[in-house]
Amino acid sequence: SNPVTAVKLVLLGEAAVGKSSLVLRFVSNDFQENKEPTIGAAFLTQRCTIGAKTIKFEIWDTAGQERFASLAPMYYRNAQAALVVYDVTKPASFIKARHWIRELHEQAAPNIIIALCGNKYDLIEGEIEGEDAKRKVSVEEGQKVAEEEGLLFFETSAKSGHNVNEVFMAIGHKIPEK
């Protein structure tokens, strides 16, 4: 059988951007419209086969403490991968995501794989850009930050499932073979 590579992955981002929902979509292929922020497992695992590799994602979600306090560095210490999530309709959440990227570059493992996710893509899918558009962070802004910082980048929707598996697969591809 394939060797299994365990990968510690952490979720970072402003409250209510959809971190827990992305995990729920990836692990259970499910979505909840009004997800209770402080309820839910803080630790979940999901196996994923990528070519000849089997990756066991050990996913650390927050229990909602980002609403009240900053997350302790021990949360992301030793993480091999991080999902930094913002909401494409909330510019403040994009600013917050940039703070998290800086924090990870300063405090996390130097070779950490970071994926930047512009979530809630379903809210803006098909809309025409302009003054009244719900989209408040352009795809170019997201791509630019990702290019400058050397991150993977996806616009995702935990609601529709858009690009959710793709994020985890792309991370898995970048995990070195044992």
Q: Does 119 bind Mg ion (CB under 5 A)?
A: no
Cβ nearer to Mg ion, comparing 39 with 74: 39
The answer to whether 31 and 24 have CB atoms below 8 angstroms apart is yes
- Reported for 24-28, long-range contacts at CB under 8 A and 24+ positions apart, including other chains, are 24/158, 25/158, 25/161, 25/164, 26/59, 26/164, 26/165, 26/167, 26/168, 27/59
| Binding piece for Mg ion, criterion CB under 5 A, among 18-26, 47-55, 154-162, 166-174 | 18-26
**Interface residue list for ligand GDP (CB under 6 A):** 13, 15-21, 32-35, 37, 119-120, 122-123, 157-159
Cβ nearer to Mg ion, comparing 2 with 38: 38
Q: With CB cut-offs between 5 and 8 Å by kind, which of ligand GDP, Mg ion, none does residue 145 bind?
A: none
Cβ nearer to ligand GDP, comparing 21 with 80: 21
Q: Which of 12, 20, 22, 89 binds Mg ion (CB under 5 A)?
A: 20
Strands of the 4-13 sheet, one edge to the other: 43-50, 53-60, 4-13, 81-87, 113-119, 152-155
